[in-house]
Amino acid sequence: MTLKSIHISLRALLLCYNGPTSWRIEMSSPSLKNEPKILSCAEVADYFLVLVDREAGDLITQLKLQKLVYFAQGISLALLGQPLFKEDIKAWKYGPVVVALRKKFGAYERDPIPPPGEMDFEIYSPSQKELIYKIYSTYGEHSAEYLANETHTHSIWKEAVSMPDQMISKDKIAEFFRKMKVPSTFLSISAKDTKRIITAEDEWWMNYDSGVPSEKVTREMLS
């Protein structure tokens, strides 16, 4: 058994029970118990890619990833009062886009994106992991085209897409998603949810520990 495998087994035991219907991951890093830092868009995207259940046939393209990241930012601003990531969002033809993610993943075009080759799970607070998971479990079942069409109904996209800079400010995103009246219970996490989060991270560690390139894992899932 490797050190990473031992780490997986120990993490599975680090659960903190917070009432009859709510569970949270309790991380061992003291820094995560303070105010969570604002992530980068790449860090948010990487965690979405970790959550993809490729063995079940789930795949994620760069277009779909862009929409998930947009919804995550909106929900974070509306319910938590702070951005999930630092970068700005622009209104492009196929919906809201984070330009830095387009540069990073654009080469995949319509092909599925493999899991990240490197991850530091300790940079994410429990609440950030839970938010990203809830966005994925809610919106991830839809196709990229469906999500793009959904964002085309958003007034903030309609207003910004014809502007010279096409910028959708964080203030406007926050205001729009608050008006959507997303229930505060959206972020409620069950024991089953927590188990799925831990399983997704453990599967990433096992693939990493095996030395199998992430691109090969995705190809094998498609074959």
SS3 string, 133-170, reads HHHHHHHCCCCHHHHHHHHCCCHHHHHHCCCCCCEECH
- Least confident segment among 20-34, 73-87, 92-106, 156-170: 20-34
CA 154/CA 32 separation, integer angstroms? 34
Average pLDDT of span 79-105: 95
CA 83/CA 109 separation, integer angstroms? 27
Average pLDDT of span 36-51: 95
Whether 223 has a pLDDT exceeding 80, the answer reads: no
- pLDDT for residue 209: 63
Q: Report residue 210's pLDDT band, with 50, 70 and 90 as the boundaries.
A: low
* Selected residue with higher pLDDT from 31 and 177: 177
Domain holding 114, by residue range, is 3-222
Distances in Å between the alpha carbon of 13 and those of 17, 24, 25, 83, 223? Answer: 11, 12, 10, 30, 35
**Strand residues in the chain grouped as ranges (E):** 15-17, 23-25, 89-92, 95-97, 167-168
- pLDDT for residue 13: 42
Average pLDDT of span 165-179: 96
Range 60-72 burial, b when 16+ CB lie within 10 A, else e: bbbbbbbbbbbbb
Number of structural domains (the chain) is: 1
For residue 209, the surrounding DSSP H or E stretch is: helix 191-210
Nearest C-alpha neighbor of 56 from the set 121, 141, 143? 141
Q: Residue 157: how many CB atoms within 10 A of its CB? A: 22
Q: Residue 51: how many CB atoms within 10 A of its CB? A: 24
Q: Report residue 76's pLDDT band, with 50, 70 and 90 as the boundaries.
A: very high
Whether 14 has a pLDDT exceeding 50, the answer reads: no
Nearest C-alpha neighbor of 65 from the set 122, 115, 118, 31? 115
Cα dihedral 97, 101, 104, 107 sign: negative
- Least confident segment among 32-36, 68-72, 141-145, 192-196: 32-36
CA 54/CA 220 separation, integer angstroms? 9
